[in-house]
Amino acid sequence: MSAAGSHAATHRVGAVLGLVCSFAVTGAFAENSSDTPPPWVGEARAAAGQLAGRLMPTLQAALQSGGPSNGIAVCSTEAPAIAREVSRPGFEIERTALRVRNPANAADAWEKEVLEDFERQIRAGAEIAALEAWSVELRDGREFGRWMKPILTAPMCTTCHGTEIDAELATTIRTHYPDDQATGFRPGELRGAFTATIELPVHDRPGDDSP
């Protein structure tokens, strides 16, 4: 299925260093025929809020104690660890982008399609904070809910993800992320997205009429 449709709402949260720069926790951008999100979308939204809420103080503390270079070092270990802690069996919350810093966060085919659609809508003048995507896919006879919400590039994000990065900081980035692609961003651009995968119980699967 191709990503299509939109529905508005507004709410933004900010963060540091472009990891959770800004994202909306409500709204709808549906890949299906209905603009009404299924119940599990609320769980995905809540998990993204938890991930952002835990990353922010961790990054802020790292910045205060050692500046941006320390933030990069801490994020290389703490950000994945926090995502694993927020996740659980059958539910995974991560971050992804078209241009990633950590190759482990590279987008799969559906995520790439949604990110590209987010970018098209942004170029067309859509309110970025209103964008969201969900879908259901079949894997080995089991159904999984997929959900994404944009992460925006805030001004503070450009310290580590912008067009002009301090030489010492650039060296630190290359040390931790030798395959880094996540630079050259400007404030207001799409940085990436939170992405969740949820294994659906039978009663949450489309077309199921069981009580």
How far apart CA 16 and CA 146 sit, in angstroms, is 26
Strand 133-139 to 13-14 pairing: unpaired
Number of Cβ atoms within 10 Å of the Cβ of 185:
23
pLDDT tens, position by position, 38-73: 999 999 999 999 999 998 888 888 888 888 888 888
Task: Name which of 68-72, 83-87, 92-96, 141-145 the model is least confident about.
Answer: 68-72
End-to-end alpha carbon distance in the chain: 28
pLDDT tens, position by position, 143-187: 999 999 999 888 878 888 999 999 999 999 999 999 999 999 998
Let me know if residue 40 belongs to a domain.
yes
Domain that holds residue 69: 13-204
How far apart CA 55 and CA 47 sit, in angstroms, is 12
Let me know if residue 5 belongs to a domain.
no
Q: What is the pLDDT of residue 203?
A: 61
Please tell me the total count of domains within the chain.
1
pLDDT tens, position by position, 24-37: 333 333 344 357 89
Let me know if residue 8 belongs to a domain.
no
Let me know if residue 127 belongs to a domain.
yes
CA angle 165–177–96, rounded 5-degree value: 95
